[in-house]
Structure 1
Amino acid sequence: MTTEIATLGGGCFWCLEAVYQELKGVQHVESGYTGGHVANPTYEQVCDGKTGHAEVVRLEFDPAQIGYREILEIFFTIHDPTTLNRQGNDVGTQYRSVVYYHTPEQHELAKQVIACMASVWDAPIVTELSPAETYYKAEDYHQNYFRQHPLQGYCAFVVAPKLAKFRKVFTDKLNTPA
């Protein structure tokens, strides 16, 4: 099986991780940091906003089961790509909307999807489109966060509604029954 990598930032990585873990064709989801200028940043450093990193998820997926375009269409449905450096109450450059492309083909597809999604949103899309940079895995306690802490406040009030929306809109894309 040949797999590909997608790296996406759209607010807190816990939200994106929870969604993509349930997506058919996604083999592995990992929370991490990219797009900054400090080597091996910690969560506290990234949250401070001075490292330049975004909270991201890195997906390993099977393109025979799900295409990069579909991954991006889901991405633009589960977060607000029109708010600069913010998702809801999460504010700061670490929460920016960004697609880090790994190939020229991903770059082109991302441009196409952004153009298509522009008609869906009432405000301009501010999602950054950048080449993939050095990626750092987030600390172990951030991995599988929603699965381990579904009743934690942020998970219950922010992550769970996004996951429910995903399950409702993309029922046919679930890898497990919701």
Structure 2
Amino acid sequence: MTDAEILAEFRQAEALLEGHFILSSGLHSARYLQCARVLMDGARAGRLAAALALKIPDKIKLRLGAVVSPAMGGVIIGHEMGRALGLPAMFVERPDGIFTFRRGFGLEPGEKVLLVEDVVTTGLSSREAIRAVEAAGGEVIAACSLVDRSDGEVDLGVPFYPLIGMKVEAYPADALPPELAAIPAIKPGSRAKP
């Protein structure tokens, strides 16, 4: 898939939003990618996952034993990546504020894992999920996401393969441009606290 085809998928799903948004990182932005909308169509989710799977080098794919994604945003794309790669897919969640495996999910000692996200901005959730995999005895050997909003600057400590990079300005709450500050902020992501 070309970048234009990927963006067309987001636009057709009405998943590229304009306004004032508080991201899960706490930063504010005038644009928001609602990956849940682009993934709600199974055929579209499958196409995007297949394209993302092609970004991961074979030398990494051959070593993988599982796909892990953070809940909530990564659950659907993680599942589709598991399907695309022929691997079990599971997720970590935060019942008490820290990512952990639940629902009978677990890893074999030393199991090689692909971490899958929907959108990466600062990498905070990804790094937290990597720690959960390590605490469970696994080893994340690569990470991927549908969208890299970091402008290629995020460092997850492992090779990172986004389907598309998208430069979208993000600002701390105390440094908003006037035009953004004039719009009420909404928090459309999966973390409840603004």
TM superposition score normalised by structure 2: 0.29
Comparing both chains, which one has the higher relative contact order based on Cα–Cα distances under 8 Å and sequence gaps of 6 or more? 1
Higher percent of residues as strand: 2
Higher percent of residues as helix: 1
Structure exhibiting the larger radius of gyration computed from Cα positions: 2
